[in-house]
Amino acid sequence: MAIVSVGLTSLILTFAATKLSGQENATTKDKAATSKNETPFACDRLALKAQARKRHFDELGPALQSMRTAVRELPNGYEFQFPSDPKTIALVAEWAAGERLCCPFFEIELRMEREHGPVWLRLTGREGTKEFTKADFRSWM
């Protein structure tokens, strides 16, 4: 069963990345994330092309905000709970792929609980990430 879940997650993330086609190469972003240079705590909205930016900020963000069922405060960030239906999972994965481009300082984790339990989106990172999240995601809290 775990192998199927991992496969579904990979498929969803691949689909989400495809939705953001025309964006900076993921390999380039991965190399930047592992370098010693850290990006500032600021959203780079220009990391997304106009259509993807509109979808991310004007459609996905508000939709997920309304679907959120719980919030957990963590020592270094926050975790947001969502229903586990396939449509919501796809939206969360698509949002996470876009957020990773515009806010590369986030560590983003998507966790699906067993037995069709809820989906958790975790946003954490280096010192200061929690404060940034609290301010920038005020409407999600």
Q: Would you give per-residue pLDDT tens digits along the chain (141 residues)? A: 333 334 444 434 444 444 444 444 444 444 444 456 888 888 888 899 999 999 999 999 999 999 999 999 999 999 999 999 999 999 999 999 999 999 999 999 999 999 999 999 999 999 999 999 999 999 898
Residue keyed to tokens 């994330």: 33
Domain boundaries, the chain: 2-21+44-140
Find residue 106's DSSP bridge partners: 125
Q: Are 108 and 121 in contact (CB under 8 A)?
A: yes
* pTM, full prediction: 0.72
- DSSP for 78-99 reads EEEEE--SHHHHHHHHHHHHHH
Round to whole Å and give the CA distance between 84 and 51.
27
Round to whole Å and give the CA distance between 48 and 28.
15
